[in-house]
Structure 1
Amino acid sequence: MSLDAEATKVAAGAGLNGQAPRCDHIDLLSAVEPGKRECQECLAAGRAWARLLVCLSCGWVACSDAEGGHARAHYWETDHPVVASMEPGSTWRWCYVHRRTV
């Protein structure tokens, strides 16, 4: 823990004016080829999905929390931290470790 000019506690790596620290997980990612545009777990259960996410560590494709949460389950199983939306043109990414968009 570091101190700011007024000797108040500031979390290491915190951004300016209370901004969240930069997510270093995105720096560790390499290019991945996404799998099929389907959630294998939902297919096996006979369920539909509306939003698919791709794991940016390995390319695994699964549904979002709104459908079945299979992308989050993949994170819990593998510790792969960042997913992205499979929607065309989207730049949305989520870090499960920091629990925020990155």
Structure 2
Amino acid sequence: MTDVNPIDPSVPPSGAGCVDCDASGGWWFHLRRCASCGHVGCCDSSPAQHATAHYKATGHPLVRSYEPGEEWFWDYSTDELYESGPELAPPVSHPAEQPTPGPAGRVPADWASLLRR
């Protein structure tokens, strides 16, 4: 991972979903959690790509998947994937009953055609 430790394992996630999509009434495909501040944002396949926008705005380079059963980290500054890393404050994923894509009630019927590739 990067030379400067951008991970604060004591910070809890900002919520159960993408905080920016929740604020704007949007939806997401998959979620990413900032390892520095806990911001939960949507992935680059999501229409708004809030996790990457958070990195660009803050310089916080590491995110962890916020999907149930996934433990990998991504370093935006080096474009590197890490299969695992330090434990972060719970919860480590969105609630298992929360649908993907989500959240329930805001995902359009044609969601698959709206994903970014």
Moved more, 25-34 or 92-101: 25-34
SS at match of 2:68: coil
- Structure 1 residue runs without a partner (length 5+): 1-22
- Residue 49 of structure 1 and its aligned partner are, at CA, apart by 0.9
Q: Distance in 2 between matches of 1:30 and 1:40?
A: 19
TM-score by length of 2: 0.61
Q: Check whether the contact 1:26–1:82 (CA below 8 A) recurs between aligned residues.
A: no
Q: Distance in 2 between matches of 1:37 and 1:25?
A: 30
Q: Check whether the contact 1:37–1:52 (CA below 8 A) recurs between aligned residues.
A: no
Task: Please identify which structure carries the higher strand content.
Answer: 1
Name 2:31's counterpart in structure 1.
Answer: 52
**Structure 1 position 95 matched with structure 2 position 71:** no
- Structure 2 residue runs without a partner (length 5+): 83-117
Task: Please identify which structure carries the higher helix content.
Answer: 1
Task: Give me the CA root mean square deviation.
Answer: 1.7
SS at match of 1:24: coil
TM-score by length of 1: 0.69
Change (3 A) 1:33 1:44: closer
SS at match of 1:33: coil
Q: Check whether the contact 1:57–1:82 (CA below 8 A) recurs between aligned residues.
A: yes
Name 1:76's counterpart in structure 2.
Answer: 56
Equivalent residue letter for 2:7: L
Q: Check whether the contact 2:6–2:60 (CA below 8 A) recurs between aligned residues.
A: no
Q: Check whether the contact 1:92–1:101 (CA below 8 A) recurs between aligned residues.
A: yes
The structure with higher relative contact order (CA 8 Å, sep 6+) is 2
Which has the larger Rg? 1
